[in-house]
DNA sequence: ATCACCTTATAACATATTGTTATTGAGTTA
DNA sequence: TAACTCAATAACAATATGTTATAAGGTGAT
């Protein structure tokens, strides 16, 4: 015998417990959903394992010995432990448990992610989520090093430690006050923007580069009135007619209202966001469930 | 599935724990004393039971998922529980554990039982014993009703609720002071006791009846000087030369010394003591162990 | 590149465990 | 006595668990 558990089995323990609790092998069999001879033999094998009789047989019935009653407590505890394992496994299987850490741009959280996360938490009531915002560079590292479970980031993205799944794309729009002369057009061309005061954001980022090169190719100089870092701020100044903000429609959508109109820019400039996880280990179940939920929400609701 | 434990087995749990702890299926196999394919399959069956992967396979090796680490704690606790069962069973098997309740006459405890109990406690260090004295009638009932585990009682005994095993017999002796004229004889006949002041005990008990009928048959009247209830008291008066005490040698042996001699009475009158337990249920292991120990001590040492 | 040496997984098979049904024997009850 | 209940056992089927042999992939040293 290498280990004291070699011949011990959970079934024997269950049978033993059931006999103690029902005072009969026949009743135990019923409660376990097996037949009486099965219970008799499971008991015999447990008795053989411990090396002494657990019940004395009298008048064709079973009566627990003192030893059996002494063992019963421990057996009960162990079986409860085993049941906890099964329950925990079930919760994990249903992704009903855990702490999901997500990193995403602030405006992405306030915009497309808000409803998705809300729904996900409703579907998995015991799950906790932490949502943080960092610079794209920091976000990449946090995800790659698995300090967080997943993130959303603007594409393209080719960090070697990341797995990237495109999840959402949107167009670039001009956000402007209804009072603005261009506000009645159903699209705004790049040429319309010549000499218009602009509100731009994301200096140094890919999307900004795209805009820059668009103007460059059309040989139009940009009249930058204000540079900022968030879509919310850009929109709030556009609303005050300080100029025209060039923003991601997906993120600006939440600010469109009576005092702010969004008009597509031509030529179209698409933004694409990706779901990122570490390539060093596969997604855990909760992250996988969240990813699927995102795909469904984004493609279904789009 | 009637129960969540249906396909769960301790072996799977052990394999899972061993893999987590050794970081490899090969090492786990070694630590479990089985082969690596066996471990692989036990793991596969556990993964099938929980319904999701517990390790991800990369570069031909196993790496635990977050889910596996979450389960590990519970698994560890449950296996420790199972090991406690095995340990407890072993202790019970060795009769190393428990509380043994014994009832016996006071002089029997102080006499033959003293060394036996001492030895037994040395052999089973974790065992606790309670030793009580009651009237024979009370002792019978206590044992029969299983308020105590066993007892010693003078035979014959035919209470229907008792199992009786004779364990010890001894002869009747006269206890007297060395100054007494009869003290130099190597035996004392019943006729020698005519007109001798006697110290007798156990009025109404079987052994006293025996003595009475012995004198009756020899047509000798008894000169009873003192009646008492314990051998110790009878001997202490005999020591003071108040008279001759007629006592059980087995019980009086402990008082024999320079100032008290024990001389066999003829015709011989034997005392017999029995070990009694309840006939309503078999002896538990500890009681059985104690009984065997008594038999060995009494027959071996006699 | 090739070789030796790791790893894990799988196939094929032997044995043990765990379930089944049918039956027996013992005890209780009408 | 007949009808019932309970536990044990035999005989068998299915499953679990072990084995050995082998495959497939990664690592590291020639």
pLDDT tens per residue across all 302 residues of chain B: 333 456 789 999 999 999 999 999 999 999 999 999 999 999 999 999 998 989 988 888 999 998 899 999 999 999 999 999 999 998 888 887 889 999 999 888 988 899 899 999 988 888 999 999 999 999 999 999 999 999 999 988 988 889 999 999 889 999 999 999 999 999 999 999 998 999 998 777 788 888 888 899 999 989 888 988 888 899 999 999 999 999 988 889 889 989 999 999 988 888 889 999 999 888 989 999 999 999 998 886 54
Q: Is the CB of A37 under 7 A from strand D?
A: yes
Handedness of CA A180, A183, A184, A188 (dihedral sign): positive
What count of other Cβ atoms lies within 10 Å of the Cβ of residue B114? 13
DSSP summary character for residue B124: S
Inter-chain CB proximity B65 and A284 less than 8 Å = yes
pLDDT band at A290 (very low <50, low <70, confident <90, very high): very high
What count of other Cβ atoms lies within 10 Å of the Cβ of residue A202? 23
Backbone angles phi, psi at B4, to 5 degrees: -70, -10
* Chain B residues with CB-CB distance to A9 below 8 A: 9-10
State if pTM tops 0.85: no
Length of chain B: 302
The CA-atom distances, in angstroms, between A122 and each of A81, A106, A119, A128, A152 are 29, 22, 5, 11, 21
**What are the b/e assignments for B249-273, b being 16+ CB within 10 Å?**
bbbbeebeeeebbbbbbeeebebbb
DSSP E strand stretches across chain A: 55-58, 61-64, 98-103, 127-132, 150-154, 162-176, 188-189, 197-201, 223-228, 244-248, 261-266, 270-278
Residue nearest D24 (alpha carbon to C1'): B60
- Strands B223-228, A197-201: pairing kind: unpaired
**What are the b/e assignments for B282-291, b being 16+ CB within 10 Å?**
bbbbbbbbbb
Q: Is the CB of A236 under 7 A from strand D?
A: no
Residue with tokens 């033999």: A41
Name B277's Cβ contacts closer than 8 Å, sequence gap at least 6.
B143, B149, B150, B151, B162, B163, B283, B287, B291
- Chain B, 174 to 233: residues with Cβ < 8 Å from chain A are none
- Given a cut of 70, whether residue A302 has pLDDT beyond it is no
Residue with tokens 């402990």: B254
- Chain A, 26 to 45: residues with Cβ < 8 Å from chain B are 32-33
How much is the average pLDDT of A223-244? 90
Q: How far is the CA of B191 from the C1' of D25 (A)?
A: 104
Inter-chain CB proximity A281 and B85 less than 8 Å = no
Inter-chain CB proximity B85 and A75 less than 8 Å = yes
Mutation for B interface: A46, A90, A92, A281, most B CBs within 10 A? A92
Least confident of A146-150, A228-232, B233-237: A228-232
CA distance A166 to chain B (A): 24
Helix B36-50 vs helix B25-32: crossing angle, to nearest 10:
110
SS3 A67: helix
A205 in Cβ contact with A154 (< 8 Å): yes
pLDDT at A2: 33
Inter-chain CB proximity B14 and A2 less than 8 Å = no
| Facing B2 at nearest CB: one of A8, A33, A74 | A33
- Residue B84 in contact with partner chain A when CB distance is under 8 A: yes
């Amino acid at each position: 015998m290498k280990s004291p558990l070699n011949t011990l089995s959970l079934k024997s323990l269950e049978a033993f417990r059931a006999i103690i609790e029902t005072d009969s092998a026949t009743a135990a069999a019923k409660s376990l959903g097996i037949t009486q001879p099965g219970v008799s033999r499971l008991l015999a094998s447990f008795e053989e394992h411990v090396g002494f009789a657990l019940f004395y047989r009298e008048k064709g019935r079973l009566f627990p010995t003192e030893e059996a009653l002494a063992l019963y407590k421990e057996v009960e505890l162990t079986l409860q432990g085993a049941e906890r394992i099964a329950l925990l496994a079930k919760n994990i299987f249903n992704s009903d448990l855990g702490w999901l850490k997500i990193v995403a741009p602030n405006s992405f959280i306030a915009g497309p992610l808000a409803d998705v996360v809300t729904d996900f938490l409703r579907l998995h009531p015991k799950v906790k989520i932490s949502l943080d915002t960092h610079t794209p560079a920091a976000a990449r590292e946090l995800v790659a090093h698995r300090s967080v479970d997943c993130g959303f980031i603007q594409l393209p993205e080719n960090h070697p430690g990341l797995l990237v799944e495109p999840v959402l794309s949107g167009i670039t729009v001009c956000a402007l006050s209804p009072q603005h002369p261009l506000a009645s057009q159903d699209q705004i061309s790049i040429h319309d923007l010549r000499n218009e005061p602009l509100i731009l954001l994301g200096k140094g980022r890919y999307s900004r580069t795209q805009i820059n090169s668009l103007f460059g190719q059309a040989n139009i100089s940009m009249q930058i009135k204000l540079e900022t870092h968030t879509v919310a701020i850009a929109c709030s100044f556009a609303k005050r007619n300080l100029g025209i903000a060039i923003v991601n429609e997906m993120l600006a959508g939440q600010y469109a209202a009576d005092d702010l109109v969004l008009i597509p820019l031509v030529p179209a400039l698409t933004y694409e966001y990706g779901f990122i996880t570490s390539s060093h280990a596969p997604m855990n179940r909760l992250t996988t469930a969240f990813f699927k939920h995102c795909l469904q929400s984004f493609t279904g609701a789009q």
